[in-house]
Amino acid sequence: MRRAMEIAGDGQWGGVHGGLASPKLRSLICPFCGGLTADSGRCQRCSARFDPLSRQASQNEMGPWFVRDESMPYRPGCNYSTIKRLVESGGIEGNSVLRGPSTRQFWMLAKHTPGVAQMLGVCHNCGNEVEGDAFACGTCQEPFSADRDRQHLGLGPSRPLPGMASVEILALRAEPPAGAELVSGPAAIPLAAQDSRGRESGGRRKIDGADGPSGEEGLDAVKRIDELGRSVRALRRAWVSERKKAWVSVGCAGIITVLALVVIVVS
């Protein structure tokens, strides 16, 4: 790997001083910041070391989270544990700019980033104060979760753009509007029952030049995936609501028990 990163220099020996040739360090690409630096065992730009243990330690900390830093714009991403340590040490504040799986790799303020905002004591959805270890927001019931998979970038689904697919495909693959997950049942978009010549086609239509029912099967798969996603989100909200009701019931039962004991003691 070292030989793959080497960049040939003008020569391995510099000028002659006092009759002796002085060695000239070869240049290579730093594997951490991508800068050109001398092969001295440490990068002159980012100060990272090139020994195997340092490389492995950096590899262990890499992940799909990125914190915007103009002084080191080319450093690799980090994992969620590193983000958590940066929050605890003050390296990440509410107005810090970062991106990761929960932002679909778009830059966002930390106080608006799901999975990070609650560690800063604020709900990413409504902005109210929350406990750092809270499971959900007590005001808007937004659940707090974090993707700890260091191999998963969290990118959004690939969707066709206008002019790249038929109207039906664009409608089915479009980003659902806010609140669409609250509507029960999949969105049904009828397919034209006529072919390009105006004749009846039995409800089937060729999409993007596909022969046979393969295009319709792809649309059905997309609808099933969207329906499953909405069902999962609805179940999560219902579970959070039932959990809150259970805690309220437990609190009421405790209060009643205390009052009963007080009455017994007084009487």
Please work out, in degrees rounded to the nearest 5, the angle formed at the alpha carbon of residue 12 by the alpha carbons of 11 and 14.
85
| Residue predicted with more confidence, 16 or 44 | 44
Higher pLDDT, 182 or 138: 138
64 with 77: CB under 8 angstroms? yes
- What type of residue is 120? L
For all residues of the chain together, what is the average pLDDT?
Answer: 76
Looking at the DSSP bridge assignments, the partners of residue 140 are none
Report the percentage of the chain scoring pLDDT > 70: 70
pLDDT tens digit sequence for 116-143: 999 999 999 999 999 888 888 988 988 8
pLDDT bucket at 66, cuts 50 / 70 / 90? very high
State the Cα–Cα distance between residues 236 and 49, nearest whole angstrom: 46
d(CA 137, CA 212): 49
Q: Which residues contact 166 (CB under 8 A, 6 or more apart)?
A: 207, 208
What are the Cα distances from residue 211, in Å, to 93, 117, 161, 168, 214? 54, 49, 22, 16, 7
CA distance 39 to 21: 18
Chain segment 76-116, per-residue pLDDT in tens: 899 999 999 999 999 999 999 999 999 999 999 999 999 99
Which tens digit of pLDDT belongs to each residue from 227-236?
Answer: 777 777 777 7
